[in-house]
Amino acid sequence: MRFGIGYDVHRLVSGRALILGGVKVPFDLGLDGHSDADVLVHAIMDGLLGAAGLGDIGKHFPDTDQQYKGISSLKLLEHVRVLLKQNNFKVNNIDTVIVAQRPKLAPFIKEMRDNISKILNIPCERVNIKATTTEGLGFTGTGDGIAAYAVTSLAELDS
């Protein structure tokens, strides 16, 4: 069993959709970034890549590469799944936390879990997503951005 940790943060800005876990969350602000800026999926990808010893998302999907401009992070997660398989790993489980003062995310968590589990080809019960606030403290508390943490575990496949 191998374990990884992922973290991502993006600034909230006007004029962009808020995408978390592949779900378009109704909100007046969205996350700024080269891709769709889905902090949850980015944290998961970094955790998975780290557990496999394959670097990070910046190595695989650099923000200087125009092919990733505006891309769905779920498409990038698909690529990570393929990399894991090529390196004889399968995802065991994922536990995440989204840190956002607003909007309330509870109504969207099931769909996020479904999206991620479908892409990674694992049961939904192996993808856990929690959302929390920082009680008004820090950049997430002031509404300047959203952060996400992920802990992942991989099983090694028999070669």
Q: Name the stretches of the chain with pLDDT < 50.
A: none
pLDDT for res 70 = 84
pLDDT in tens, 140-158: 999 999 999 999 999 998 7
Distance between CA atoms of residues 159 and 153, nearest Å: 18
Q: How far apart are CA 21 and CA 129, in angstroms?
A: 9
End-to-end CA distance of the chain: 15
Alpha helices, H only, 30-93? 39-51, 57-60, 73-86
CATH architecture classification, 2-156? 2-Layer Sandwich (3.30)
Q: What is the reported pLDDT for 158?
A: 78
pTM for the predicted model, two decimal places: 0.96
Could you state, in order of their start, the residue ranges of all structural domains in the chain?
2-156
